[in-house]
Structure formats: structure tokens, C-alpha cells
A and B are shown apart, each in its own frame.
Chain A
Amino acid sequence: MTRRRTARALTAFALATLPLAATAGELNILTWEGYADPSFIKPFEEASGCTVSATYVGSNDDFAAKLAAGGGVYDVITPSLDTVGMMRLAGFVDPIDTAAVTGSDGVYPEFSKHPEIVVDGETWAVPLIWGSVSVIYRPDKVTGTPDSIGVLFDPAYKGKISLWDDKSAIYWTARYLGFPNIFDLNDEQLEAVKAKLIEQKPLIRKYWSSAGELTDLMANNEVWVSNAWTGLTSKDVNALGKGFTVAEFSPKEKAEGWMDSMMLVKGTPNQECAVKFMSYMQSPEGQCGIAKSTGYFPVNPGAVSSCMDAAMKEERKVDNIDFVKSLVMWQQPVRLDKYLEVWNAVKAAP
């Protein structure tokens, strides 16, 4: 009798400790700023009955860090293409049944069939949105019309330059130095990149670590030029009406391209909501919603045909997948640890 009561108490206790993970109708997303905007998340919540809560990352390296520290909290993550493979290798994610994700067949095949996404016949991610990283600047402060990454290293703008606090700083500097193999730099090249970045430090006001921070830095006159997630920061700063506007350009050394996709966290109890969410994000509401809230490019041209006008389609490269070729698409660096170490050494330097 006593033993049975103990067993029952233990079961009750075990159940009581699992409410967050066990409750259906919830969806926890680890994602980027702008990717869970109420403008399109609210309608999804109403239609699906799933309550969405979002946590934001500042760089692709945050995904592994957050999942390694106890991943059970998240159901869906949205890393960029260069990080998708690592999530799979680290065992953080489950493969996805694409047949269940309505509308996923409308995605550009260049993305949906990408070798990082389909491995050994299994699909590990559903593309969400894509875009570029370009240079944002204040035309009223920067002389002429800049066209090179060199503006980020120009002593004329000392103390008015910012840079994304991310390993991609190495890609930018490598391109500026003329190295073609930016994802597979050798030690000598990495030393040159590191030296250049340390030389640049006195020109830097602040490394930004979130889109919101860069928006603040630009809006409050702290910096005049930075690399930026194309579309998002310029849209946000110009919307503030500070009496000046910011502009963006793709440098002649090429801008970087990226594509974020949705992945299913291993063993998530909220798989149903996760799949509903992935399907919703392929719908016109989802694709147009996220494209409009971020300024990035939709991955599903069919879905946006009805909710974008011609001018916007042009601007957001709809059915212009060839634009990808003008970009340097992110890949996972061959020696990721080495890249992170170099970037950290730059930040630690005096």
C-alpha cells in the first residue's frame, strides 16, 4: 500500500516538473530579430492555437551555444545555411518530413535541395528567407558614393565605424585584402586578416551584436558606417525620422549572401505546432509577413505573387535567384574553431 502510494507520488512529482515541455499548443523559437513579428505571428497563433514565444540570437554561433546549454527549451531554430550542417552533426535536430510542410515544394530548388539541407536522402531544414549583408552608411557624413569595403577601414571615419560582432568580420577583411578563399584561409592569411582587424580597432566605435544595437548606434549619431543585414537596419533607422537617412550598397568586393531555414529541435514535444509553423511560413501570409517585417528576400516566389507589387518583387529579387551568384554565400569555414579564435583574439586585443 505504502509502496504504491510512493510510486503514485513520484509519478505526480515527475509530471509536475515537466509542464513546459509537455504542454501542447506551444512553440518556442530560437531565431533572429524581425522573424517573430506580431504582424504575421498573431494571425498564426489565432489560426493554429499555438502560442509562440521567441528568443533572439545575435549570431549563428549562438545556436549551438544555446542548444548545448540545455536545448529542451526550444522547438524550432532558424540558423543560416553555413550552420545547418553543424546542427545536424551535433545531434541537435531531427530530420523533417517535407510532405507534411505545406507549400515547401514552392521553394527555390537551389535552396530546398542544397547539399547542406538534403543529406543522404533526408531533409534537415525548410528554407525561410534569404538576403545579403551589405554596407550601411550616412550619405550626409560619408563623402562621395562609397563602393568598397575600404570605407570600413577609412581613417577619415575614425570613431564612427561599426562592425558586426561575428566571425564574418574575417570574411569581410579577407575580401578587402583580396583573398578569394574566404572560408578556407590558411594560417598566413588568417594572421594578415587578424593584423588588419586589430589595425582597424582604433577606428571602431563599437562592435554591434544585435540589429537593435546597430539601429541605436546609427540613430543616435554614434556611427556613420557599418556592415549590416541588408534591408532591416536601414528600414528601421529611416522609419525613426531622425532628420537624416541611411543608405546601403553592395561593395565591389561583393556582398555576402545568406539563407536562413527552419530546423526541428531533436525530440521536441511540440512537433505538431512546429510543422504548422513551418507550413504557415511558406504561405503568402508567412512569406510576405517576414519579408516585409525584415526587408529580406522571400524563398517561396509562388507564395508572394499575390501579396507583393511589381516594384517590391523587383527589390526583393523575386524569381531572381540568379542574384545569388553576385553574392558570396556563407559556408561553414573549414576551420571554424580557428576562425572563432582569431575573431576572439581581435576582440581581446588592446
Chain B
Amino acid sequence: MRRPSSSMLMTAGLFSLPLGWALLLLIVPYILMIAVGFWTRQFPLFVPDFQFGNYLQLFSDPQYTTVILRTLKIAAMVTGCALILGYPLAYFLVFTIRSDKLRNLVYMAVIVPLWVSYLLRAYTWKIILGTDGALNSALMSLGLIDAPLDAFLYNQTAMVITLTYIFVPFMVMPIYAVLENIPKGLIEASEDLGIGPLGTFRHVIAPLSLGGVVAGAMMTFCLSFGDFVAPVLVGGPDGTMVANLLQTQFGAALNWPLGSALATLVLIMVLAILAVTGWAERASARNLR
């Protein structure tokens, strides 16, 4: 038998690892997930089957649509808040800070929290927003309130605050990148043509940074859409999100078929969001060509 050449072996070895990885850890689980979505729950566990009852339940029982709509709402609010905070920050970094050293420092300050445990950062907000927390103490020592307010923690506002804080770097990074790529000459040209800073922002900077906004919004939206920690840590009784529902179905409720159906539905929604934003990004890129 002819021995395979070492370069052939190398090639095979090089590609088999990532391919095998993708197959084993991405493709196979997705196929399993979609398949289990058609199984039937049968006490105490579940049995293989092919029926659409799980999907029927997802669409007929209002608890699932309620949670999906709530999750969309929270994710949209987080995306909006992250944009309101992240865009000016990126703008400030690119256009206001003159010193490269300072800019890099502030940019790192935005990015570095990503290295800190997600749980720790979410937990910090619990400490800030709680009844005995830092915010209430500050307001009381300023004399603005007499007794601590309950309104800051264990509700959807707290979830939006926490998720915005956690995901804002994902908004800042792509916007920073597009703003940095806008030739300074275009801004000078606009001002040269008599348009002040506000008009220049509206007509030049905003349209040219749209691609980054879409990318940042897409990442922030998808990350918040799939979050399950904020509801548990800082959410209240009305804080259940889709990921918590999934956790329940795969956990306490032990209804993997329903959980798989729900996961498939979420996957389709996320893919749809990706398709729409991908189209929007391409459209805005076409604009620039």
C-alpha cells in the first residue's frame, strides 16, 4: 500500500479538526434540537415522535407569546439605551479626544469590563440598585428622598440598566470602527460648505456610520435577547425572558420537547434578525461605493 504523503496528511489534519469541531459541536446539536422539538413529553421523561403539538402549544398558550414579546421589548430597549449611550461615547472618542494615548486609554476602559466576569458585573448592579444599595444611600444622604425606594431593583428597568451596562461595549466597538474610518476631510468639506456641526452630523457622519450602528444594534439585540442572568439577578416577578423559559423547560419542567421547539423558534427569530440586519448593512455599504 502506498503511504499517503505527509503533505496530504497535513492538509487532512488541518481541516479535519475545525470541520469535525463544527460538525460535532454545532451541526449535530442543532439537528438534535430540531428533532427533539417534535418528540412527545411522557411522564417521567419523553419519547421520540413526530408531531407538531409542541409548536401548537407555543402559539396557543399565551404564556409563551407573552414572554417572547417581553423579551423582544427588553432587547429593543437595551439596544436603544446602548445606542443612546454608546454612540456619543464612540463619537467623543473619535472626534473630541485629540490625544491618541488618552483615546486608547478611554477605549480600553470601555472594553476592559468585558474581561471581568459577566456575573460579577450583573451582581454589582444588584448592590447598587437594592433597597439598602448605593443609589438609595446616595439619594438619602442628598436629602432627595426620606426612605429607600424599591423602584430601582427587581423590575424590568433594573434589567434594562444591567443589560445596557453589560452590552454597551458591543455597541461602542463597531460604531467606533466606522467613525474612525470616516475621512476627516469629509467633515471639513461639510463645514467648508457652510454646514455647522449639527448639520454635518446629520448629513455626513450619521449616514456614514449607519453600518456600525446596524452591526452594534444587531449584536446588542441578539445578546440581550438571549440573556438569562439579568432576569434572575435583578429582574422581578415580571422579568422572565425567553432564555429563562428555555432553562425551565430543560430544567424543572423536564419538557425537553417543548424546550427544543421553543429553542428552534428562537433560532429562527435570531436568524431572521441577522438576515434583516445583514441586508441593511449591505444596503448601507452599497451606498458608500
Q: Which residues of A contact B (CB under 8 A)?
A: 59, 61-62, 64-65, 68-69, 86, 89-90, 159-160, 167, 201, 204-207, 209, 220-222, 336-337, 340-341, 344-345, 347-350
Contacts and interface: CB of A to CB of B under 8 A. Distances in A.
B154 A65 contact: no
A61 B253 contact: yes
Contact of B252 (A61, A220, A222, A345): A61
Interface string B210-253: 00000000000000000000001000111010000100101111
A65 B247 CA distance: 10
B131 interface: yes
A167 B62 CA distance: 19
Contacts of B255: 337, 340
B33 to A, nearest CB: 14
Interface stretch (B63-71, B81-89, B161-169, B171-179): B63-71
28 contacts: A61-B253, A64-B254, A65-B252, A68-B254, A68-B256, A86-B44, A89-B44, A201-B238, A204-B236, A205-B154, A206-B154, A206-B236, A206-B237, A207-B237, A220-B130, A220-B131, A221-B132, A222-B131, A222-B153, A336-B43, A337-B43, A341-B253, A344-B248, A345-B61, A345-B63, A348-B66, A349-B66, A350-B66
A91 to B, nearest CB: 9
Contact of A61 (B43, B45, B64, B254): B254
Given A86-B44, A345-B63, A350-B70, A69 B238 contact: no
A209 B66 contact: no
Interface range for B: 20 to 34
- The interface centre, meaning the residue of A65, A86, A201 with most chain B CB atoms within 10 A of its CB, is A65
B148 interface: yes
A201 B240 CA distance: 13
B191 interface: no
A160 to B, nearest CB: 8
Nearest to A335: B43
B46 to A, nearest CB: 9
B150 interface: yes
Nearest to A158: B150
Contacts of B103: none
Contact of B64 (A68, A205, A348): A348
Given A90-B45, A209-B232, A221-B131, A348 B254 contact: no
Contacts of B236: 204-206
A68 B237 contact: no
